[in-house]
Amino acid sequence: MCGIVGYIGTQEAKEILISGLERLEYRGYDSAGIATVSEGRLNCVKAKGKLYNLREKLEQTVDNAQIGIGHTRWATHGKPEVHNAHPHLDSYLKVAVVQNGIIENYRELREELKSKGIGFNSETDTEVIPHLISQYLADSNISLLEAVQKTIPHLEGAFAIAVISADNPYELIVARQQAPLTLGFGQGEFFCASDITALVPHTHAVLTLENGEMARLTPLGVEIYTFAGERVSRFPRTLDWNPGQVEKQGFRHYMRKEIYEQPGVVRSSLETYLNPNWKLEENPDFSPINLGFSEQLYDNIDFIQILACGTSWHASLIGKYLLEQVAGVITSVDYASEYRYSPKPVIPHTLIVGVTQSGETADTIAALEMEKARREKLDSKYHAKLLAITNRTESTIGQLCDRIIDTQAGIEIGVAATKTFVAQVMGFYFLALDLAYRRRSLSNERIDSIITGLRSLPDKMEKILETQEDAIEELAHEFVKETEDFIFVGRGINFPIALEGALKLKEISYIHAEGYPAGEMKHGPIALLDSEVPVVAIAMPGSVYEKVISNAQEAKARDARLIGVTSVNAEEAGLTFDDVLNVPEVEELLSPILAVIPLQLLSYHIAAIKGLDVDQPRNLAKSVTVE
């Protein structure tokens, strides 16, 4: 949450900062601000609400400064008001700081500073930082770098900071402790940002700081140090990035663009992970899946523990289904936020899988770190084998885990996850099939038929987009005025799709929605049903199809308007459902990848017709870097 940017070089900093913040706005949009240094003075401009408010304010100012920092905020400590917006300054208006993260001990620090007569202008945790730095600068004849170095040991929590000072116009200091921060290297100009999306328009040479590192950026170069002050020698890497990924490319919203990118993402993951030389008729003695993991990883896996949040948790529930039903390995999925405070007793030979699209979710990272640390103290058979399933391989989870499945989804900008969800589920198909092959839990014939089914998915996904969207948009009109509640039901491998359909709807349309296992409705939630509450049933032919249809009938008997996501023909579907969201035929095991698309489109159109901010729904952020 929150995005920070910094610039030092030969161009006007203002426009670079604000356009950088625009690319980070998905991380938070409660307020924004920038600070620059020119003629020995700090210029600080802040605005409440979305970034265009700050842009408007800045248009009325002249600022030629060539150094500056910026921030877009997702409020944690203190309401989203101008006085709580970053950058925060010291009492002499000499030091400006932006921060992403949380300073957990800010209350004590604040009291300590107050007892020394220092006044505060905000309720934020961040404001203690410029005051501490300022004290060190005042007390002794030290550089800005040294003052920040002396300040950091006082700070507890996870944070990334960028600091400038009116008296040091050629120095930008940054530090990272468990919150993302990447440096960009240009020609005589240097950048920092919470995410590389803000750097790619300027440079593809980047270096991600590690925890416990800080850097001094000057117009001449970048020096990296540990918090203890030791110089670190590291070199930037070159990004293989297509800036088009972060443009809307003619779509009204990123979310719709990303829904449309899904067939391509699935194609690309199939190309990456299916071994083209694996031919059933040749009776191959190697895995059809090419994840690049050694036998060692798979030897002795008795248990798989998956940790994730939100939509990634839903993808993980499908993962559990696949790992248990296809690969035959007992698997547990936990919310990372719960697991970190109530972990399971340790089981030997465990594969720990972290699933996250941002790669930065604080709870997921902390749960993985905790699991790794507690297991390292034990006998080696308990040591964690860590695997990340993510589209952001350069992120914190990428640094933490020894193995990664890069889901090939690229960056996702719409706050509601769509293509990354589908890509994570694909990651689980590959993992489950690789395990199934190596453990011989499925015959080669069965594996081959699943792979054939996987290969057919992109065309089928395209067909849904081509043939169903108009009808879904028309249907969406019926729910924009009076509908206050929605129920989504599914069973088996499609129960998580019910959860995901409900989450998509509530987060972008603000309509209350619940996802339930269809068979559980009669144990309570059925009491909610009447003609005002539409029920969406995911009824894909397969082992639980008849059961879902029976559960749907129970809802219909309570006057609920019944919407079916199904591949059965119109005549059969019409016997049960009032409205049908049709998807092509597919075997049940692969059906979640298709079933989720009409639900994404339904939520999208309801929110778009309501005129809501689809890509940046209220109160949310794309990268949840606070606990």
Select which of 2, 44, 192, 309 is catalytic: 2
Q: Does 312 interact with ligand F6R (rule: CB under 6 A)?
A: yes
Looking at the Cβ atoms of 1 and 137, the one nearer to ligand F6R is 1
Cα–Cα distance for residue pair 375/556, rounded to 1 Å: 51
CB of 310 to ligand F6R, least distance (A): 2
In contact, 6 and 68? CB cutoff 8 Å: yes
Task: Determine if 357 is a binding residue for ligand F6R (CB under 6 A).
Answer: yes
Which residue number, 301 or 386, has a Cβ lying nearer to ligand F6R?
386
Q: Which is nearer to ligand F6R, 96 or 366 (CB)?
A: 366
Comparing C-alpha atoms, which of 565, 601, 506, 567 is closest to residue 311? Answer: 506
User: 3-state class of 95 per DSSP?
Assistant: strand
CA angle 226, 231, 236 (to 5 degrees): 90
Q: How far is the CB of 411 from ligand F6R (least distance, A)?
A: 11
Under rule CB under 6 A, residue 180 binds ligand F6R: no
β-partners of residue 73 are 31
The yes or no reply on residue 358 touching ligand F6R (CB under 6 A) is yes
**Residue number with CB closer to ligand F6R (151 or 600):** 600
Please, what is the minimum distance in Å from the beta carbon of residue 128 to ligand F6R? Answer: 28
Residue among 165, 311, 603, 616 that touches ligand F6R (CB under 6 A):
311
Shortest separation between residue 410's beta carbon and ligand F6R, angstroms: 14
The residue (of 288 and 310) whose beta carbon lies closer to ligand F6R is 310
Of residues 48, 320, 419, 622, which has the active-site annotation? 622
* Exposure letters 5-39 (e unless 16+ CB within 10 A, then b): bbbbbeeebbebbbbbbbbbbbbbbbbbbbbbbbe
Distance (Å) of CA 455 to CA 263, 283, 429, 465, 468: 11, 20, 12, 17, 21
| Beta partners for residue 223, in sequence order | 216
Minimum distance from CB of 373 to ligand F6R (Å)?
Answer: 20
Helices (H), 278-406: 295-298, 310-325, 336-339, 362-376, 396-400
Per CB under 6 A, the list member of 196, 259, 322, 417 interacting with ligand F6R is 417
**Residue 285 Cβ vs ligand F6R, minimum distance, rounded to whole Å:** 37
- Name residue 488's beta-bridge partners: 515, 536
Beta-ladder partners of 165? 95, 168
Q: Which of 125, 507, 514, 615 binds ligand F6R (CB under 6 A)?
A: 507
Region from 352-360, 461-469, 524-532, 600-608 binding ligand F6R, contact rule CB under 6 A:
352-360
Q: Other C-beta atoms within 10 Å of 466: how many?
A: 9
Contact between 563 and 606 under an 8 Å Cβ cutoff? The reply is: no
The DSSP H or E segment spanning 353 is: strand 350-355
Instruction: Please tell me whether residue 310 binds ligand F6R under the rule CB under 6 A.
Output: yes
Determine if 309 is a binding residue for ligand F6R (CB under 6 A): yes
**CA distances to 69, 90, 154, 167, 537 from 134, in Å:** 17, 6, 14, 11, 60
> Which residue of this chain has its Cβ atom nearest to ligand F6R in the complex?
310
CB 308, min distance to ligand F6R, A: 6
Binding to ligand F6R by residue 582, rule CB under 6 A?
no
Task: Check residue 361 for interaction with ligand F6R (CB under 6 A).
Answer: yes
Secondary structure of residue 348 in the 3-state scheme: coil
Per rule CB under 6 A, count of chain residues that contact ligand F6R: 14
Q: Which of residues 364-393 bind ligand F6R (CB under 6 A)?
A: 364
- Annotated catalytic, 2? yes
Q: How far is the CB of 486 from ligand F6R (least distance, A)?
A: 16
Active-site residue, 401 included: no
Backbone dihedral region of 417: left (phi > 0), alpha (psi from -120 to 50 degrees) or beta?
A: beta
Instruction: Identify which of residues 135 and 311 has a Cβ nearer to ligand F6R in the complex.
Output: 311
3-state secondary structure of 404: strand
Of 218-226, 310-318, 434-442, 472-480, the segment contacting ligand F6R by CB under 6 A is 310-318
Rounded CA separation 215/231 (Å): 9
Catalytic site positions: 2, 622
Residues near ligand F6R, by CB under 6 A: 309-312, 356-358, 361, 364, 416-417, 503, 507, 624
